Chain A
Amino acid sequence: MSDEPGVAGNIAAEEIVARYIFSSSHFSRDNNRVKHNAFMPAPDGKTSVFRTKGLERDAVWEIGEQVARGRSQPLHARADITAGEVAQAKVKVALSEPPPRHCNIEGWPTEKSAQKLIAIDLADAARLILRP
């Protein structure tokens, strides 16, 4: 669990998690929307997200910048979604530290077509925030 103030172990339904977007094909600038591909699980069956509760705007972006530097990928945007919205799509947010504040969206079905449908629901619920 993180020692940072304002971050408890339990993730409330209204708490926001951020999916940082490093691929230009995973969002539409013209339509101001996240594409479902941004939420599709990695080959390990999980989608990496970060809790942003209690952080100032710059600190929220700094988490993504750290990932960007570590992976040598450009940070384009992030998708904000609440844990409750994730649960409505029949998957869940599970804490997975370190690094601090890191979580995974877990509980994906094994069938890719079913994963796509859930990812569509997540993308519809998420808010796209472009990197300033």
Chain B
Amino acid sequence: MGVSYKGTVRNGVVVLPPEVKLPDGAAVDVIPEEVKTARHVPGTGARQAEKQRALDSLDAVFSEGRAPSWDGYDARAALYESYLAAKQFLEALPPEFHVPEIALDPDGEISLEWRAGAAGTFSVSVGASGELTYAGKFSPTTKTHGTEPFASQVPNVILDNLRRLVA
């Protein structure tokens, strides 16, 4: 159903206006304003549309993983801090790079993945504390992996590996 209501959080409980009547047992989906804001990308053009699709995908992946065991096994729930850091990463990604495909890891971290041809893959998992865990396979025998801190700029190691992927 496409019905939405605005409310506020008081002491950890969502309080809706008194005129909103919901039946007992009604399923609700709470999306914080800051998450909804993440869906909007100002600007125009193909790049902005691509980035918007990535942000929409990020939102969908985060929503799918908000309860534990979202993968049918024993995955941890998606980490909100990882979601926010992944959004920051997408915003900071220079326009020369395509936006990644987005998925969720069983530990609750958001995963970003770029593909080049049949054999090339580079992926970054975004940790809740801003740590980036990356792995890349550029050919059957050329591979790399490691970790990098993430503040506001995408680290050069990540950018260099992305260039290597499409080279």
Bound state CA distance, A123 and B101, in angstroms? 15
Q: Tell yes or no: B134 within 8 A of A by CB.
A: yes
Which A residues are in CB contact (< 8 Å) with B103? 23, 25-26, 35, 37
> Mask for A110-132, Cβ within 8 A of B = 1, else 0?
01111011001101100000000
Whether B72 lies near A71 (C-beta < 8 A) is yes
Which A residues are in CB contact (< 8 Å) with B119? 124
Which A residues are in CB contact (< 8 Å) with B113? 35-37
A4 nearest CB across to chain B (Å): 22
Cβ-closest chain A residue relative to B137? A120
Q: Tell yes or no: A22 within 8 A of B by CB.
A: yes
Whether B76 lies near A43 (C-beta < 8 A) is yes
Which B residues are in CB contact (< 8 Å) with A112? 107, 125, 133, 147
Cβ-closest chain B residue relative to A112? B133
Cβ-closest chain A residue relative to B70? A23
Which B residues are in CB contact (< 8 Å) with A117? 135-137, 143, 145
Which A residues are in CB contact (< 8 Å) with B101? 28, 35
State how many residues of chain B have any CB contact under 8 Å with chain A.
35
Whether B102 lies near A25 (C-beta < 8 A) is yes
Which A residues are in CB contact (< 8 Å) with B135? 113-114, 116-117, 120
B137 nearest CB across to chain A (Å): 5
Whether A23 lies near B104 (C-beta < 8 A) is yes
Q: A35-B113, A42-B106 are in contact. Are A73 and B69 (CB under 8 A)?
A: yes
Which A residues are in CB contact (< 8 Å) with B71? 22-23, 26, 73
Q: Tell yes or no: B52 within 8 A of A by CB.
A: no
Q: Tell yes or no: B75 within 8 A of A by CB.
A: yes
Bound state CA distance, A43 and B75, in angstroms? 7
Whether B133 lies near A113 (C-beta < 8 A) is yes
Cβ-closest chain A residue relative to B122? A120
Which A residues are in CB contact (< 8 Å) with B81? none
The A82-132 residues at the B interface (CB cut-off 8 A) are 111-114, 116-117, 120-121, 123-124
Contact of B72 among A23, A35, A43, A116 (CB under 8 A): A23
Q: A23-B104, A113-B133, A116-B135 are in contact. Are A48 and B145 (CB under 8 A)?
A: no
Whether B137 lies near A121 (C-beta < 8 A) is yes
Bound state CA distance, A17 and B133, in angstroms? 28
Which A residues are in CB contact (< 8 Å) with B88? none
Whether B121 lies near A124 (C-beta < 8 A) is yes
Q: Tell yes or no: B64 within 8 A of A by CB.
A: yes
Point out residues on B near A: beta carbons under 8 Å.
60-61, 64-65, 69-76, 101-107, 111, 113, 115, 119, 121, 123, 125, 133-137, 143, 145-147
A-B contact pairs, 15 of them (CB 8 A): A26-B103, A28-B101, A31-B115, A35-B113, A40-B105, A43-B75, A43-B106, A44-B74, A71-B69, A71-B72, A73-B72, A116-B123, A116-B133, A120-B137, A124-B137
